[in-house]
Structure 1
Amino acid sequence: MARRGPETPWEVRASTLARNTNNLIRNIIENLKVKPNPEKKLIPLSLGDPTAFGNLAPPDELLQAVRDSIDANESRTYGVTNGQLEARQAVADYSIHQGRVTADDVILSSGCAHALELAITVLADVGQNILVPRPGYMIYMTLAEGLGIEIKYYDLLPNQKWQVDLESLEKQIDTKTAAIVVINPSNPCGSVYSKQHLLQILDIASRNRVPIIADEIYEYFVFSGHEYTAMSALSKDVPILTCSGLTKRFLVPGWRMGWLIIHDRNNIFEKEVRKGLRNLCGRLLGPTKLIQHALPTILKSIPQHFFDGVNSYIESQATLAYKALERASGLRPIMPQGSMYMMIEIKMSMFPEFKDELQFIEHMYSEESVLCIPGQCFLYPNFMRIVLTVPEDILREACERINVFCKKHAVFKEKAMGIVATSLSVDKEWKVIY
């Protein structure tokens, strides 16, 4: 082989992993072809960060725990790659709702996304596939496809509160399926699954001998009348890797503290998976010791009324947005049951000037300076997602602007059953044609 020398042209290529890694949301949002209206203040209903507007802040007890950690020498040293024992034990104690958990079942990670990466890479290999809900958060695509792991999608049912289409799920399973991802409570749908529905999913996983990756970063983020149940608490034989962290419930996404918990009642993971997870931890050498050192205090000291207050606020925001947007021409919001998002159907037939929901959102952004996430980011066209954690006055203003935009652009035509709608008001016609 000829050696390269000064006369050889430079050619430095990105790796296969780098070339094939794609963050769908970032790529779509960062490549919008339009700018917001300079005469109207931008309202980004696209930010899945509950702290972005400053109206939701972590409790004093949490902040003090980290202040104390700064003064401790133990917070500055290197640690074991899967997390310090005291911190892992604190997570085990906190996660009693998931079933029996010991410190040995816990791996600390650099945020929940890192926990998901550990779960995917320990279970799936090149040429295998994992099953992901559609619509669903596309971090799984970002983490898997660059490694040669295929993503297959099972459908959720918008008219059934985004429950899993069980027939669709089972049809996607084949001999190369390495895991099923279940997001509960859901991003982007805001659904919260009942115990009965979780048991139906577990039954499919059990009969097909496929483990589950339970994405439960929104654990306990539920509205009144609904109940969060950890999937692992219901499983009798299906091994589960549960991923969660401080990010959402504790309102500190920038601290990047997550965890993975191994649930394996029948020791199915004992032979290789547990060791594989420990091996993978050696790649990043563990998450920040500063937050690890504070973790036992954080998980024990936060009063319940803090969490209740956050949930109550987001539920009131969901109600506000739902009532406001159900009056919008051509939109159908779906009331969430938890998390911090709402999915809204865009009846594209009423907006013929736009080829798809991305163009609808681009024009709304340029005219009204309101930015929503298009359904394409979740592989679910004709929908958009909004975030509910913004201040009340800002959410109210955003909904008013969305209503103005829809009223301006909606086109009403002759619809089913030969009803001519020209004599109907906007609201009445919507009830007829939808």
Structure 2
Amino acid sequence: MLDTPPKNVTINKIYYKKTADPVSDKWDVPISTTAKNCRNYIREIVDNLNLEPNPNKKVIALSIGDPTVYGNLVPAKETTDALIETVLNGKHNGYGGSCGLDCSRNAVAEYLSYDGVEVQAEDVILCSGCSSSLDLCITVLADGTRGQNILVPKPGFPIYRTLAESMGVEVRHYDLLPEENWELDLDDVESKIDSKTAAIVINNPSNPCGSVYSEEHLRNVLRLAERNKIPIIADEIYERLVFPGNKFVSVASLGAKVPLLICGGLAKRFLVPGWRLGWIVVHDPVGAFAAVRKGLVCLSQRIIGSNTLVQGAMTKILLETPQSFHDELMNTLIETANIAYEEIGKIRGLKPFMPQGAMYMMVQIKSECFPQFNDGLEFVSKLMEEESTFCLPGEAFGLGGYMRIIITVPKELMVEACERLANFCNKYYKPKPCQLLPPVSIE
């Protein structure tokens, strides 16, 4: 930097500044409030755990929400062939519209038009994965500068909190009821609503609970939202991933007079999470979302659209993947879930909750049976240290006293993991002493 302006050059004295003293001449680049507020709650918890596996045992990770990591679950041939064809024909190497290619939006609309729902292509906005879809939905509805809040489930996927709090939006947690298949505690939901509530987030099927909500329960949720005039953000990334005896019901199919933003994507049902293709469907039966539609278009322009190669393959992926692929995936998941439920159900001090869908199972850790551990964090840390088996503690989802396991691992690994869990719990299980009953007088 020059200490004096060069000759024959006029410098506005307001902007010209002599170089600072070398001792204090250092960079000071502050970060934004959004960056300061952005926190990954799972990583914060996991990174602070003492996760040193037993060197004599190979690690079994029952914690990773990516269904592809063990290699036992792979996408359909139709899915991979469609992408290869798109790459080779070279027709989708350029930019697409910020909301997505017309052919891809049409494919999503057709794919989601069932059970009486008719989705139009103009209702669809394509995003970079479902997390991007959730980001846009929360951003368009909630504003931290206005002191707004959103309601999210507890236990629930922490990305909702990460996205909202990074923008200064307050997060209020409503309870799910484990004894009622993790349904929403509607009284608790309503108690959290005030004039600053911008949206209610519901996740069906659920991560981490594996619950699938009935039509009756969803209608009750929608009545609550309509009564309070609160829009809903519906995270349906696990749509149709349900076990026999259950049915996935999209909130869009129920004819309620509630404006909805529905989030989904290819990641889970089609086993391609790294392809980063999600969507938002705007469902607005009351005409409340005119400004929201425009806002979503503006927000989508920040990344100038999602991956065009995947978009080019969307029609074949969504509409030509055979039902037999989806059936086989569900058969695999439920077989593994049954193994976990049966084997963990035999372990003293643990209580598994059989999922109805998705890719997860919640397990209660009966703390009174393990007094050596102050909380679930210590429990899973010691489990890793001794048995090289890692489960995500419930604290990662806002609910202590539980842990979440995945049901996407190969069956033989699930069997071994359950054996390790049993060994660990048998070692530390301490039953509560018998409570003596007061004497009964006999007259």
TM-score band w.r.t. shorter chain: over 0.9
Percent of aligned positions that are identical = 48
Cα deviation digits, residues 176-222 of structure 1 (max 9, x gap)? 00000010000000000000000000000000000000000000010
Are the counterparts in 2 of residues 314 and 388 from structure 1 also a CA contact under 8 Å?
Answer: yes
1:329 aligns with 2:339: no
Gaps of 5+ in 2: 1-13, 439-443
Report the CA distance between 1:418 and its aligned residue: 4.3
Report the CA distance between 1:248 and its aligned residue: 0.1
Report the CA distance between 1:9 and its aligned residue: 3.3
Cα deviation digits, residues 391-412 of structure 1 (max 9, x gap)? 0000000010001000001112
Are the counterparts in 2 of residues 97 and 230 from structure 1 also a CA contact under 8 Å?
Answer: no
Q: Distance in 2 between matches of 1:42 and 1:418?
A: 46
Report the CA distance between 1:386 and its aligned residue: 0.1
Cα deviation digits, residues 343-378 of structure 1 (max 9, x gap)? 000011111111100000000000000000001101
Task: Provide the TM-score with structure 1 as the length reference.
Answer: 0.94
Gaps of 5+ in 1: 420-434
Q: Which residue of 2 aligns with 1:45?
A: 62
Are the counterparts in 2 of residues 202 and 235 from structure 1 also a CA contact under 8 Å?
Answer: no
SS at match of 2:91: helix
Are the counterparts in 2 of residues 240 and 262 from structure 1 also a CA contact under 8 Å?
Answer: yes
Q: Which of structure 1's runs of 4+ aligned residues deviate more than 6 A?
A: none
Report the CA distance between 1:8 and its aligned residue: 3.0
1:198 aligns with 2:207: no
Cα deviation digits, residues 139-191 of structure 1 (max 9, x gap)? 01111101000110110001111111110011111100000001000000000
Q: Which residue of 2 aligns with 1:169?
A: 189
Q: Which residue of 2 aligns with 1:120?
A: 138
SS at match of 1:155: strand
Of 367, 370, 373, which residue of structure 1 is paired with 2:386?
367
Q: Which residue of 2 aligns with 1:105?
A: 123
1:179 aligns with 2:179: no
Cα deviation digits, residues 29-58 of structure 1 (max 9, x gap)? 233223110100000000001111000000
May I ask how many residue pairs the two structures share in their alignment? 418
Q: Distance in 2 between matches of 1:389 and 1:359?
A: 25
In the TM superposition, 1:313-328 aligns within 5 A as 313-328=332-347
Structure 1 residue identity aligned to 2:93: R
Q: Which residue of 1 aligns with 2:415?
A: 396
Q: Which residue of 2 aligns with 1:311?
A: 330
In the TM superposition, 1:45-124 aligns within 5 A as 45-97=62-114, 99-124=117-142
Q: Which residue of 2 aligns with 1:285?
A: 304
SS at match of 1:96: coil
Report the CA distance between 1:415 and its aligned residue: 4.2
SS at match of 2:54: coil
Q: Distance in 2 between matches of 1:256 and 1:91?
A: 15
RMSD of equivalent CA atoms: 1.4
SS at match of 1:396: helix
SS at match of 1:131: strand
Structure 1 residue identity aligned to 2:123: D
Are the counterparts in 1 of residues 368 and 432 from structure 2 also a CA contact under 8 Å?
Answer: no
Structure number with greater Rg is: 2
Q: Distance in 2 between matches of 1:403 and 1:60?
A: 38
Report the CA distance between 1:236 and its aligned residue: 2.2
Are the counterparts in 2 of residues 131 and 181 from structure 1 also a CA contact under 8 Å?
Answer: yes
Report the CA distance between 1:113 and its aligned residue: 0.3
Report the CA distance between 1:60 and its aligned residue: 0.6
